[in-house]
Structure 1
Amino acid sequence: MAVPAPAVKSLERTGHRLLEQARLRVQPQLRERVEGRLTHNRAGAGYHLGWLDGHGRPAKAWTGKAVRPALCFAAAEAAGGCAGEALPEAVAVQLVHDFSVTHDDLIDEDRMRRHRPALWAALGMPTAVLCGDALLSLAFTALTDAGRGGRALARLAEAPVEMIEGEALDVAFERRERVRPGEYTAMAAAKTGALMGCACALGTVAAGGDERRARLMAAFGRHLGVAFQITDDLLGICGRQEVTGKPVGGDIAVRKKTLPILIALASATAEGEELAGLYAHRGELSPEQVARAAHLVGQAGGVRAARQERDRELKLAHAALAETAPAPAGRRNLLALAHLLTHRNS
């Protein structure tokens, strides 16, 4: 059922407000943790997190959306607590996310992140690897320093394992001639859904939620993560670089098999066959070929079907959330975030 335009605007305003609040809450804690614990990796981490430039001088760069902290805070509210109770958990999941993107950019050879050169492109591969490792370690200190116990630490420890497994699948897909859409969903659930699910579960636990509620909130976050990943893949084909901060068509240029592309390749259409020919082409694709491939994905039905799959995952997320009997304010905030994250332009 279509959401009326005024309701959509309200959801978007609420979602943007929650993201901004999450950024303001976690940024001072991130900086305190990095500057208080790191020495040789401090400049690289400061560059990646936005308060330093490539020469170690003060800067004010965009620091990302703070999606996972926002989910963590809203989950705490949905469990009947307040957002502030989940601050250590929110800082921890943001650090895990920043660990993952420093390594992902290097693996994928993505040269842009947050509207400026990615860490590896600016300061080199060794710096990116070491800073990513340091940020992951700092995530656990965020919980231990706050006196968090085994439930929280166990959930946080499991998330990077799944994320790394998902990333390995994503890399393997590039070498395989055929990948089934169901395999893609499993990859996205691990690579992206694991940390979003972790963020929601940790927020629930921080607010005193029981294990059943934490599991359901983890399911909400996991399904939302798959929908979020599909949206990201769609932006890689239909987005605009000045909005996303990353080159449009980048996935096609390196022949990544995202869901819209997989659907188009399996479409048994003339456009799908032409797309397969471009993907089988040896050597680097020209900008004209990349643009042609993006057009073919749309013509073969890949974009439309991927949007339908995104909406299906979003419905599953909503169903899991409903089972938790969430507190009204937290429910509204989680639904606002879910809409914004799956109907965004960047």
Structure 2
Amino acid sequence: MTLHSMWDAFPILQKDLTKTLDIMENSLHIQNKDVEQAIIEMIHAGGKLLRPAYQILFAQFGTEKDENKILAMAAAIEMLHTATLIHDDIVDDSDLRRSLPTVRAKFGNATAVYAGDYLFVACFRIMADYATSMKSLQMNSRSMEKILAGELGQMDKHYYAEVTIEDYLNNISGKTAELFALSCSIGTFESGSTKLFAKKAGEIGHNIGMAFQILDDILDYSQDSQAIGKPVLEDVRQGIYSLPLLYALEQDSSQLKPLLAKKEHMTPDEAQAVLQIVEETQGVEKAQQLASDYTNKALKDIQKLPNHPEGIKETLLQITKLILHREN
């Protein structure tokens, strides 16, 4: 079982994340072997496991550190994330994720739906078995609601050239930042930290998630298809208008709107024209600046965390800098 190479520099966390994947795979009890195989392949598809990593790290600040519970909760978090990815790919008709065929592309939409559904069930089963109180289950269910609200907000704005930057930020706050926030807050809460500390951890996770999604959206305008594992400007063709494009629309809507009206029928030349306008209006640079603002907020708050004898705060700083200054 091979983890992403970024964890080579963090051997203790690498060991815990390997155990997390083992828990995920061992929790599968499915008679339908297509669904089971689809989930296993998704588990081992090379994701960075960032959310369980933050959950594990923030759990170290608590006074009640139960390794079995910490890793089980990390597995539940990653199952929830994996389920949302599988369902996203169905909705978006995506054939590639991380340069590999998606579950829907390889196994079909029906198997993909059931795989995602099963992971939601498995997530709550683990939470119910290990959570200290109903509070954690409430946090998890409310986060799922916010994630769905973000996805629905994005869907409601498909091919809508009047979408605002505020709309965009609200949507990614739900669909991406919320799960980072949950990972950090539930890690502290379930290890005996105060509600106040859990809230602060959630704020850190939220800012990390906001920066992470903005940077991910920037790749659609700044990297080639091999680097990002999907076609360039794929989001635009699907009517998903992210931050670089929204900044460009603020500056030059008269040229952009006719191109966006082509929707999924946009030609390669028209897509290139969109990219050129985004470059000329410095849409990418402005988006990078906002991502930097969220990153700096997160790093500043991590610096304020209590010192930890095992260097947990320093590890959090290292990982956050690493993932928020990434190229792919």
| TM-score (ref. length: structure 1) | 0.85
Map 1:1-346 → 2, pairs under 5 A: 17=10, 20-21=14-15, 23-34=17-28, 37-40=29-32, 41-50=35-44, 62-79=45-62, 84=67, 86-146=70-130, 148-267=132-251, 269=252, 272-281=253-262, 284-325=265-306, 327=308, 329-346=311-328
Residues 201/135 of structure 1: CA separation in 2 closer, same or farther (3 Å cut): same
Residues 32/186 of structure 1: CA separation in 2 closer, same or farther (3 Å cut): same
> Cα distance, 1:246 vs. partner?
2.0
| Higher RCO (CA-CA < 8 Å; seq separation 6+) | 1
> Cα distance, 1:103 vs. partner?
0.7
| Alpha carbons 1:79, 1:330 under 8 Å: kept | no
What do residues 59-99 of structure 1 show as CA deviations (whole Å, max 9, x unaligned)?
xxx33110101111111224467693521111011000001
Partners of 1:83 and 1:273 lie apart in 2 by 58
Partners of 1:273 and 1:65 lie apart in 2 by 40
Unaligned runs of 5+ in 2: none
| Alpha carbons 1:167, 1:187 under 8 Å: kept | yes
- Secondary structure, aligned partner of 1:178: coil
> Cα distance, 1:342 vs. partner?
1.5
Seq. identity, %: 24
- Secondary structure, aligned partner of 1:64: coil
| Alpha carbons 2:76, 2:127 under 8 Å: kept | yes
For the aligned residue pairs, the C-alpha RMSD in angstroms reads 2.3
Partners of 1:75 and 1:49 lie apart in 2 by 23
| Alpha carbons 1:111, 1:117 under 8 Å: kept | yes
| Alpha carbons 2:159, 2:260 under 8 Å: kept | no
Residues 316/283 of structure 1: CA separation in 2 closer, same or farther (3 Å cut): closer
Q: How many residues align?
A: 319
Partners of 1:126 and 1:98 lie apart in 2 by 16
Partners of 2:300 and 2:166 lie apart in 1 by 21
Partners of 1:297 and 1:33 lie apart in 2 by 46
| TM-score (ref. length: structure 2) | 0.89
> Cα distance, 1:110 vs. partner?
1.6
Partners of 1:176 and 1:333 lie apart in 2 by 41
| Alpha carbons 2:51, 2:78 under 8 Å: kept | yes
Residues 232/20 of structure 1: CA separation in 2 closer, same or farther (3 Å cut): farther
